[in-house]
A = this chain, B = another copy of it.
Amino acid sequence: MLVHNAAQMGTVRQAEAHAGHRPQGGKAALAGTMEMMGAAMPFSRNAEVYGENEPADYLYKVVSGAVRTYKVLADGRRQIGAFYLPGDVFGLEAGEEHTFSAEAIADSKILVIKRSALMALADRDNEVARQLWAEASRELRCVQDHILLLIKTAKERVAAFLLEMAKRSTNGNAVELPMSRQDIADYLGLTIETVSRMLTDLENAATIELPTSRRVVLRNRSALARICG
């Protein structure tokens, strides 16, 4: 189910109330269109946004906070598919059902958009359709890059992860990690111990600084890039 408690139920309805709105013109960006059609909902830390195999009736855009998508294997191993930061769109599926589950990593505000409304709009407005394609393409590229990550060594994965987060972060060399070591490990296909060791190795090599465990400062980007392979 999309809605997990009564308190959230009401807010989702709001999203639908806006579903009929038209964008200002044919050249409206998907970003702008979505703001018109969706309603921002609060999710608290670790709250589920949607579950695997649930109908994909909505898509989402992170306003603040952060989101992880993941799958859990039969024996409990968890693979995180992606992290989504403010501005990122997630939950856009061509199929009828979500293939991953999604949870808020921290307290978050998330824009909820009814899929059918956006799709109907895309049928009339080719620009919107194009934007949806671009979004899906971005997602595919992300997953493909993720595969390339998973064939690398532990140090390479951690270095690549830091560079990726830095590229998506706004504040230069200082990166605030919203996720735990376990989340990072499950994203990189490593254990928390290995992630921790690689981070301390990088710190010892003066490649990064770790003022706190959730804050990383890149001291030597080119060294990181070199490590990436």
Our pick among B79, B134, B148, B229 for the contact of A148 (Cβ within 8 Å) is B79
Is the beta-carbon distance between A144 and B143 smaller than 8 angstroms? Answer: yes
CB distance from A160 to the nearest CB of B (A): 11
Q: Using A150-B147, A151-B77 as known contacts, say yes or no to A133 and B99 having CB atoms under 8 A apart.
A: no
- Judge whether A88 is part of the interface by a CB distance below 8 angstroms: no
Which residues of B have CB within 8 Å of A94? 133-134, 136-137, 140
Question: How many copies of the polypeptide does the oligomer hold?
Answer: 2
Is the beta-carbon distance between B229 and A95 smaller than 8 angstroms? Answer: no
Which residues of B have CB within 8 Å of A129? 129
CB distance from A17 to the nearest CB of B (A): 26
- Judge whether A35 is part of the interface by a CB distance below 8 angstroms: no
Q: List residues of A (177-208) whose CB comes within 8 Å of B's CBs.
A: 189
Chain A 71-103: CB-based contact to B (< 8 A → 1; otherwise 0):
101110101010000000000011100011000
- Judge whether A123 is part of the interface by a CB distance below 8 angstroms: yes
Our pick among B77, B93, B123, B189 for the contact of A137 (Cβ within 8 Å) is B93
- Judge whether A146 is part of the interface by a CB distance below 8 angstroms: yes
- Judge whether A139 is part of the interface by a CB distance below 8 angstroms: yes
Q: Which residue of B lies closest to A137 (CB)?
A: B94
Our pick among B130, B137, B140, B143 for the contact of A147 (Cβ within 8 Å) is B143
CB distance from A224 to the nearest CB of B (A): 14
CB distance from A208 to the nearest CB of B (A): 21
Known: A81-B144, A94-B140, A95-B134. 11 other contacts (CB 8 A): A73-B152, A73-B229, A77-B151, A81-B147, A95-B141, A100-B144, A143-B144, A147-B147, A147-B150, A150-B151, A151-B189
Query: Please, could you name 7 A-B residue pairs with CB atoms under 8 Å apart, sorted by A?
Result: A73-B148, A79-B147, A129-B129, A136-B136, A143-B147, A150-B151, A151-B189
